[in-house]
Structure 1
Amino acid sequence: MTFFLRRAAFYAFTAWAAITINFFLPRMLKGDPVSAYIAKNQGRISPEAADSLRTLFGLDADKSMLEQYLDYWRLLFSGDLGRSFSKGLAPVTDVIAAALPWTVGLVGIATILSFVLGTSIGALIGWRRGSKADFIVPLSTFFSTVPYFWMGLIAIAVFSTLLGWFPASHAYGKGSRPEFSLDFFGQVIAHGFLPAATIVLASLGGWILGMRNMMVTVLDEDYVTVAQAKGLPTRRVLVDYAARNAMLPQLSSFALSLGFIVGGTIVMEMVFSYPGVGKLLLDATTAKDYPLMQGLFLVITLTVLVANILADVAYAVLDPRTRQMES
């Protein structure tokens, strides 16, 4: 209980600090969303409308910075992240909610799949170190060193243009609308296969190499030698004794990769014209849409924090020594 209370207090403070920085950072930049919006509309906005927009964006000059900060927290707890002027003054929550499922669905599944495959393959290679299976390590590492945009372009050229097996861009066919039907789900799977496959291929090498090296280290530990001397089944020694301890460092990396699912896909979404959060963040930055940028940064930060909390919990469950050290 002491361990979990300390970690909860730490992450609560971190969340407060991140949200506070997210509030002050846009206000430290030159200009404001209203000025950018007026410039975009070539000044065709009256002073009264400009004042109303500043009030809407929480930039009311009649309020002090502390009052704006308290209003920001009040709106945050009510689920109001402001309005995006680059999306026709649509609520930021609606804009993010429309793009978030595409990124989480595609990159989330690809990240989990690459972690499971890489950890499993790395554990087997480490268990049979010195065998012919070791050639998988340099091969997978080679694909990890290839720039992602280049790998994506090659995949499009080969499997879309040359062979015509998969679509080259977008999340579903042109002229289609999102709906719950087998035909639409089939389009989503077909359009998402190439970007998901390139993500798995690009990240697989790191998981394999990390798990393989940890397995080699763990296999020299006394508890593994004792388990083998007792005559325990090979599968049990591999899974319960060696792989369970070897994968602990992998969990921290996996938590970070889960946290960056939301914001770390800009290149992939640009190459495949995929309508996710990464492309939305790029568009918001280009348009200087501060409310949308602020909302996206907040979602990304909270996602990373939640992922790290889950990693700490899993780490404490798998390794009781962590709880004993913290308490």
Structure 2
Amino acid sequence: MRYYLRKLGFFLLTLWAVVTLNFVIPRIAPGDPAEIMVQRLAGKNAQLDQAQVQAMRDLLGTPTGSLPAQYLQYLGQLFRGDLGLSYNYYPFKVTEVIGQAFWWTLVLVTVVQVLSFVIGVLLGAFAAWKRNGRFDTTVTLVSTFLGTLNSFWIALLLIIGLGYGLGWFATSGGYEQSTPGFNWPFVYDAISHAFLPALTLMIITPVGWVLGMRNTMVLNLGEDYIKLAKAKGLPDRVVALRYAARNALLPSVTGFALALGGVLGGTILVETVFDYPGLGRLMGEAVGVKDYPLLQALMLLTAVATLVANLVADLLYGVLDPRVRRAQS
């Protein structure tokens, strides 16, 4: 029980630190969102009117007063679920803007992460079992090569080749002709638009799981319990799956949980290249126009999701490996 209480305590302390940093960082960043919006409306070379800038600050509800007062106001808004108005999408609330992009990223990145984890772990485990063979060499070299590629570059190649060249898939947006809803035309349209972003991520995402699982399992295959299992005459399949792969999988559980937690952060480069209406593109836009309320909410959402996923992984780790729980009790 002490193990779980300690993990929960660390989670609450880290959550408070994340909430505080999320309050401080936008306020020490250079630039004034009100000035940026007035400059955009007046023209690039126009001289700013300070009266208009102040009016824009009042319209956007820019925080005023001392930092402690703003901090207390910020905490109160968080407890009420009030994340403010988006500067870039005014007069819409931040929660409304995020709500529209949330499901696009959740479906796309979650499906990619789950498939990448399963494929990567299986390939890594089989490569480790057949270590120093042709399959192991091929998988290791290909994974190492793919790991050096940039997602932005891969996305551009897929757009040029499969999008513009062959015309098989849509190259931008989330849907085009159909009406949003749970109907087949919309689902088909959404899948065709999501295919290239998903393929871009699928090319590079499994690399970490492949190499991590392979290296961990190779180390486990040299342990005494593996030699004992082989000496007992157990089938190779049982030794590989129930002994080596099962123990090698434990470190990947934490990594997979963190990866799922990072889903809500989206993939800024990929979603921006494909103009995909997800949280990643939203965060890129928020950084570019200094939309502090939106950026603050996205950063907080990503951090909290990662913390929760890490907490779940720690608790699950204690269940899967009792030695960890006993060592900290």
Matching residue within 65, 68, 71 for 2:67: 65
> Which stretch of structure 1 is more off in the superposition, 180-189 or 244-253?
244-253
Q: Give the C-alpha shift of residue 39 in structure 1.
A: 4.4
1:48 and 1:260 map into 2 onto residues whose CA distance is 37
Is the Cα–Cα contact under 8 Å of residues 224 and 242 in structure 1 kept in the other structure? yes
Residues 66-105 of structure 1: pairs in structure 2 closer than 5 A: 66-105=68-107
2:9 and 2:101 map into 1 onto residues whose CA distance is 31
Runs of at least 5 residues in structure 2 that lack an aligned partner in the other structure:
43-48
1:102 and 1:326 map into 2 onto residues whose CA distance is 40
For residue 247 of structure 2, what is the aligned residue in structure 1? 245
For residue 159 of structure 2, what is the aligned residue in structure 1? 156
Residue 13 (str. 1) matches residue 7 (str. 2): no
Q: TM-score, normalised by structure 2?
A: 0.90
For residue 321 of structure 1, what is the aligned residue in structure 2? 323
2:291 and 2:326 map into 1 onto residues whose CA distance is 47
Runs of at least 5 residues in structure 1 that lack an aligned partner in the other structure:
none
Q: Give the C-alpha shift of residue 35 in structure 1.
A: 4.5
Sequence identity, in percent?
44
1:80-133 deviation per Cα after TM superposition (whole angstroms, max 9, x unaligned): 111102102211011111111111111121111111100111101111213221
For residue 211 of structure 2, what is the aligned residue in structure 1? 209
2:120 and 2:88 map into 1 onto residues whose CA distance is 40
Is the Cα–Cα contact under 8 Å of residues 140 and 201 in structure 1 kept in the other structure? no
After superposition, the Cα gap between the structure-2 partners of 1:34 and 1:162, relative to the gap in structure 1 and judged at 3 Å, is closer
For residue 45 of structure 2, what is the aligned residue in structure 1? none
1:309 and 1:168 map into 2 onto residues whose CA distance is 38
Is the Cα–Cα contact under 8 Å of residues 51 and 60 in structure 1 kept in the other structure? no
2:41 and 2:10 map into 1 onto residues whose CA distance is 45
1:266 and 1:52 map into 2 onto residues whose CA distance is 31
SS in 2 for 1:97: helix
SS in 2 for 1:4: helix
2:130 and 2:30 map into 1 onto residues whose CA distance is 59
Residue identity in the other structure for 1:280: L
1:291-312 deviation per Cα after TM superposition (whole angstroms, max 9, x unaligned): 1111111111112111211221
1:15-35 deviation per Cα after TM superposition (whole angstroms, max 9, x unaligned): 101101111222223454444
1:31 and 1:149 map into 2 onto residues whose CA distance is 28
Q: TM-score, normalised by structure 1?
A: 0.91
1:48 and 1:209 map into 2 onto residues whose CA distance is 55
> Number of paired residues?
322
For residue 27 of structure 1, what is the aligned residue in structure 2? 27
For residue 138 of structure 1, what is the aligned residue in structure 2? 141
SS in 2 for 1:88: coil
1:28-51 deviation per Cα after TM superposition (whole angstroms, max 9, x unaligned): 234544444444444597699557
Residues 1-327 of structure 1: pairs in structure 2 closer than 5 A: 1-30=1-30, 32-42=32-42, 43=49, 52-53=58-59, 56-57=61-62, 59-61=63-65, 64-134=66-136, 135-173=138-176, 175-263=177-265, 265-327=267-329
Q: Give the C-alpha shift of residue 287 in structure 1.
A: 1.2
Is the Cα–Cα contact under 8 Å of residues 38 and 44 in structure 1 kept in the other structure? no
After superposition, the Cα gap between the structure-2 partners of 1:28 and 1:157, relative to the gap in structure 1 and judged at 3 Å, is closer
Is the Cα–Cα contact under 8 Å of residues 244 and 318 in structure 1 kept in the other structure? no
Residue identity in the other structure for 2:195: F
SS in 2 for 1:87: coil
> Which stretch of structure 1 is more off in the superposition, 32-41 or 239-248?
32-41
> Which stretch of structure 1 is more off in the superposition, 74-83 or 194-203?
194-203
Q: Give the C-alpha shift of residue 318 in structure 1.
A: 1.6
Is the Cα–Cα contact under 8 Å of residues 38 and 52 in structure 2 kept in the other structure? no
> Which stretch of structure 1 is more off in the superposition, 97-106 or 40-49?
40-49
Residue identity in the other structure for 2:158: A
Q: Give the C-alpha shift of residue 176 in structure 1.
A: 3.0
Is the Cα–Cα contact under 8 Å of residues 141 and 206 in structure 1 kept in the other structure? no
Is the Cα–Cα contact under 8 Å of residues 137 and 205 in structure 1 kept in the other structure? no
After superposition, the Cα gap between the structure-2 partners of 1:263 and 1:47, relative to the gap in structure 1 and judged at 3 Å, is closer
1:47-88 deviation per Cα after TM superposition (whole angstroms, max 9, x unaligned): 99557446x34x133xx4323212211110111111102102
2:141 and 2:53 map into 1 onto residues whose CA distance is 63
After superposition, the Cα gap between the structure-2 partners of 1:154 and 1:47, relative to the gap in structure 1 and judged at 3 Å, is closer
Is the Cα–Cα contact under 8 Å of residues 265 and 278 in structure 1 kept in the other structure? yes
